[in-house]
Structure 1
Amino acid sequence: MNVLHIRQLKMSDCLLGRMCSKGIAAVIGGILIHLTLGNLYSFGNMMTYMASYMHIRVDPSIDYGNFIWVNSITTAAQGCFMVLGGLLEKRVGPKITCFVGCSLLSAGIMLTRYTIEVSLFAVTMTYGLLSGLGISLSYVTPLACGMKWFPERKGFINGMIVAGFGLGALGSTNFQTMYLNPDNLPPETDGYFRDPDLLNRVPGVFITLGVIFLVMQYTGCLLLSKPKNDHHLCQQEEGEGLLEPSETENAEEREPISTAVLTDRDLKPMEMIRNKTFYQFWLIYFFNTIAIGYINAMYKSFGLSFILDDHFLAVIGSLSAIFNAVGRVFWGRLMDKTSFRVAMRLLSLLLAILFATLPLTSSMGKVGFAIWIWMIFFTFSGTFVLMPTVVEKAFGSQYYSANYGLLFTSQTISGPLVAALNHLMLDAVGYTGCFLSISGVICMSFIMTFIVPRGL
């Protein structure tokens, strides 16, 4: 081996090392951003305090049944504007896109300090709509960056990043509970907190949360980046050397290679919506997000119906974030090892069983309730790994952010649908009827997995 070739190999080593460092930094930045976006999963905990405050001090007609509209509008806003996030990222890059989205999310939380004194509609606009808009702009871009840097481990990398989303509720739920109810005061028999000191602390928690989130978000935005082209990747195929000098010199001139499994080229959004497989994915996502939105908002109010221990329920909520995060890594890895069809089929079947049997936990005590909630969070978390990964796998990476945004439009229907039906069904059939209905919806997702094309 001559001296020139050795020098070229060393230069390639340095180049690959720098690229891998940037790739790792991008994944860390994505995790930081998703940790703040994951505040969404603390809504079930926060709703008990917010609804209590507004029921007692603003409007007695506000209750848990109609307060779910706040969470539903958040998810609907994600569906409406997720495509905008993908298009913005293509124009201005990942850093600016996430900076704008994160700023909107934190602004929505902080403005709730004032809107919670006004009306449920005002809270829905800030804690719901504005926060949802912020999430929609910030959600997909970190995933796109991670998959670009590590294309051979897409499921695992997506799992790592969205694990941050799942873990977000761990810090948020504990902070909310310790800040608002440090003495573990129980709610009254009607399910609402009425202690004056507790209620006095509710408005201030939004400012504190917003400031903490901004620091984490802006740090994450600075770490985000994408490789300049599809050949600058943090990987080395087994049995191959590093980039040869000629490959390094010409890498900038090459066109991106299509990664799409179903087509011979990456599909643009308007092309993707003419593909029937997209609608199969859309329906699976729609059915699953109905279940996810419902349990996220209602698990604590259901628990309060037979467990009068606020700190215990907060612990369940915070630890569910760990199961949410670990589940995302698990399901992403499972898809890498098997396929989307296998992983999603197992996920939907298990989730349907867990929802159908959840009403039984009212006679199982604290331990039984905790196990069921944790298993539900562990299971549904895979939806947010499997769906973005299969969209990129099926239709390619070049337009991935916008394409996944189109899939998210399912939440514009599932979110409001849950809110509209919940109040009526909760009064008519109670929690048992609601959970059994959700289980039936998830069974539709299970059936859909059998018509998804093979090879995915």
Structure 2
Amino acid sequence: MPWTRQKCVQYCSIVGAHLVMAPLSFLWIYGNLYAYMDSYFRLSCHGACADSDPQWILSIYLGSGCPGALSTKFLTDRLGQKWTGVMAAVIINASLLGSAWTVQVSVAWTVVVMGVTLGWGVGINLSIAYQNVSGWSPNRASIFMATITSFPSALSMIQNQLITSFVNPHNSVADVIVGPKTYFSQPQILERVPKAIIMYACVNLALQVIGYFLMTSSPQTSQSSSSPSNHDTNENECGKSCNDHTDLEWTVESTHNRGRKAVGHEVKHYGSRSDNADLPDMSEAAKSPEQSMFDPEISSVISKSEDEIQFLSLKPLEVLKTPVFYVLLLFGTAQTFALMVKGNYYKQFGLLYIADDQFLTLVGTILPIATSVARLGYGLLISKHIISIKDCAAISLAINTLLCAFWFFIPRINKILYMLFVMCLALAQSSYYVILPSGCLRCFGPKYFSTNFGLLSASVLIVGILGPLFISSLLHVLGWAGLFTATAILGSAALVCALFTEFKTVL
């Protein structure tokens, strides 16, 4: 196929969407950084600094992604896709740079800056990137949703090594034990913590600047935000260029509040859709294959055979009436809770039995290998329809539940076994950033994706608010064994619901 300017824009935009996802690496570097930050708050910061629990940082960061995703539709309607992303990048990098100062004065302010504002910005950024790749390449949306979340995982491999090499270059041992936790008391380690945050922020800033320079708003967003007159003009231009192609014809019966027909077959309604539901807009003249690849609604319909039922997009209120929404919500809650426990404590728990800080940093460094491979695998299998959303969710939940049930015993046996164990945990939990957006797109359709994805992101809001309360209580009352057992029980509940629910898809 000849190289055209439009294809160049498409590929550059998809590459840019990967780069702008750099701040998502916070999820995979925080477990490493938290060990140093917690020591800094406990032993280096002044007395008034310890005005909150630092475990709230990651939970609030995850929870703030929900309002961020929900606000995306409102912002893109007014600013456009790209400029909404640029605004999110400003918020993200200002939050990271600001947190280098707040860690020196207050845990509570660090929770606000590194948790609330950073999480909100990343939620917007994530939704923008998902919309962009699904708009430019709808037929490969699941694969690109996997790759754009694999990039920050791979990036964290480098960032984790940079952080530990900078903060603890001599592999000093955590020498203070208070209750179930261990801390670093060495002044040369503690004084480098704020500088490590600045270093991390600068890497993200550079990648996001390049990413948004390359990224262009996807055709779907550009069309939806254009004025009626521009939309009519685009339709006329499309009609002229499409008259030359006679191999594909669409007949559209366009009456108010009635279903349309595509290729002579009536579009059927899904789930709770009523007869006056909004259907994908299609011009009377056919679009060429080259043009249709840039229109996610048309290309998705074209990719189906004539005898298949065409898809419809469910409105947010209709999504709330479907059982699959609540199963995906519970799936997200269970996976996010397990992800939070791993992110906060894989290193701290390991230090109780493995007196090797650099080895545990190495564990955090190679985690992205497992997550990246797993996400690519999930995305490819779903995109090729080799495995369903339901099967993917069930497999990842089953693996995660089984591993959490034995978490307490693994580091007591062997540190290599613990490394493999944490990698398998990451493999299971990495499905979250593929199954949730892919499930949202396939089960509810593309038209209201940003709002529906925001509703599903309520899982991280639930965990962000309630997680630290339960984690602290479980850890202090039942210890590490109780915390890991509770994580396994929550995963089991989500697994049972997933197995007994039918995942109806519209796409």
TM-score of the pair, normalised by structure 1: 0.87
Shift of 1:197: 1.2
Tell me the distance in 1 between the aligned counterparts of 2:495 and 2:310. 25
Question: Across the two proteins, how many residue pairs are aligned to each other?
Answer: 432
**Alpha-carbon deviation of 1:362?**
2.3
Q: Retained in 1: the 8 A contact 2:72–2:127? A: yes
Whole-Å Cα distance in 1 between the matches of residues 359 and 94 of structure 2? Answer: 30
Call closer, same or farther: CA 1:305–1:263 in 2, change over 3 Å: farther
Task: State which of 469, 472, 477 in structure 2 corresponds to 1:420.
Answer: 469
- Contact kept, 8 Å, 1:95 with 1:222, in 2: the verdict is no
Structure 2 residue 408 is matched with structure 1 residue 359: yes
For 1:393 and 1:91, the matched residues in 2 are separated by 27
Q: How big is each residue's C-alpha offset from its partner over 1:86-106, in whole Å with a ceiling of 9 and x where there is no partner?
A: 332343222112111122111
Higher Cα Rg, which structure? 2
- Whether the 8 Å CA contact 2:323–2:501 is kept in 1: the answer is no
Matched, 1:152 2:152: no
**Residue 195 of structure 1: aligned partner:** 186
Bigger drift between 43-52 and 200-209 goes to 200-209
Aligned-pair distance for 1:223? Answer: 2.0
Alignment of 1:377-392 (within 5 A): 377-392=426-441
For residues 359-404 of structure 1, give each alpha carbon's deviation from its aligned partner in whole angstroms, at most 9, with x where no partner exists: 1212222101100001111111012101100101111112212211
Residue in 2 that maps onto 1:211: 202
Residues in 1 aligned to 2:417 and 2:46: alpha-carbon distance in whole angstroms = 35
Q: Which has the higher contact order (CA 8 A, sep 6+)?
A: 1
Moved more, 376-385 or 261-270: 261-270
- Cα 1:455/1:188, change in 2 over 3 Å: same
Matches within 5 A, 1:102-121: 102-121=89-108
Segment of structure 1 superposing worse, 37-46 or 90-99? 90-99
Q: Distance in 1 between matches of 2:380 and 2:297?
A: 26
- Contact 1:280–1:448 (CA under 8 A) maintained in structure 2: yes
| Residue of structure 1 in register with 2:422 after alignment | 373
Deviation at 1:330, TM superposition (A): 1.1
Alignment correspondent of 2:31:
44
Distance 1:29 1:447, change over 3 A: same
Gaps spanning 5+ residues in structure 2: where? 224-240, 246-285, 302-307
Give the Cα separation in 2 of the matches to 1:171 and 1:58.
28
- 2:185 aligned with 1:138, yes or no? no
Give the CA deviation at 1:268: 3.0
Name the structure 1 match of 2:493: 444
Q: What does residue range 171-190 of structure 1 map to in structure 2 within 5 Å?
A: 171-190=158-177
Distance across 2 between alignment mates of 1:418 and 1:387: 20
Q: What is the rounded CA distance, in whole Å, between the counterparts of 1:200 and 1:99 in structure 2?
A: 32
Whole-angstrom distance in 1 between the partners of 2:351 and 2:39: 13
Matched, 1:405 2:454: yes
Gap runs ≥5 in structure 1:
1-12, 233-241
What is the match of residue 41 of structure 2? 54
RMSD, matched Cα? 2.8
Is the CA contact 1:259–1:393 (under 8 Å) kept in the aligned structure 2? no
Q: Residue 395 of structure 1 aligns with which residue?
A: 444
Q: Residues of 1 paired with 2:71 and 2:430: CA distance?
A: 24
**Are the counterparts in 1 of residues 400 and 488 from structure 2 also a CA contact under 8 Å?**
yes
Distance in 2 (CA, whole Å) between partners of 1:85 and 1:130 is: 15
The SS at the match of 2:312 is: coil
Match of 1:19 in 2: 6
Equivalent position SS for 2:406: helix
Q: What is the deviation of 1:150?
A: 2.1
User: Whole-Å Cα distance in 2 between the matches of residues 455 and 278 of structure 1?
Assistant: 11
Q: Is this contact kept in 2: 1:36–1:216, CA < 8 A? A: no
Separation of aligned partners in 2, 1:300 and 1:86? 38
Query: Are positions 1:269 and 2:316 aligned together?
Result: yes
CA distance in 2 between partners of 1:419 and 1:195 (Å):
28
In the TM superposition, what is the alpha-carbon distance from 1:71 to its structure 2 partner?
Answer: 0.7
TM-aligned CA deviation for residue 229 of structure 1: 4.7
Q: Whole-Å Cα distance in 1 between the matches of residues 218 and 84 of structure 2?
A: 17
Percentage identity across paired residues of the two chains: 22
Amino acid at match of 2:211: G
Look up the match of 2:325: 278
Write the distance in 1 (CA, Å) between the matches of 2:296 and 2:495. Answer: 39
Which residue of structure 1 lines up, in the alignment, with residue 341 of structure 2?
294
CA distance in 1, matches of 2:242, 2:429: 40
Say whether the 8 Å CA contact 2:403–2:425 is kept in structure 1. yes
Closer/same/farther in 2, CA of residues 262 and 341 from structure 1, 3 Å limit: farther
Q: Distance in 2 between matches of 1:62 and 1:425?
A: 25
Q: For 1:315-355, what per-residue CA distance to the aligned partner results, in whole angstroms no more than 9, with x for missing partners?
A: 10011022111111111122232110111111111111111
Q: Which structure has greater helix proportion?
A: 1
Contact 1:163 1:324 in 2 (8 A): yes
CA distance 1:70–1:411, shift in 2 (3 Å) = same
Shift of 1:244: 7.3
Residue pairs, 1:153-168, within 5 angstroms: 153-168=140-155
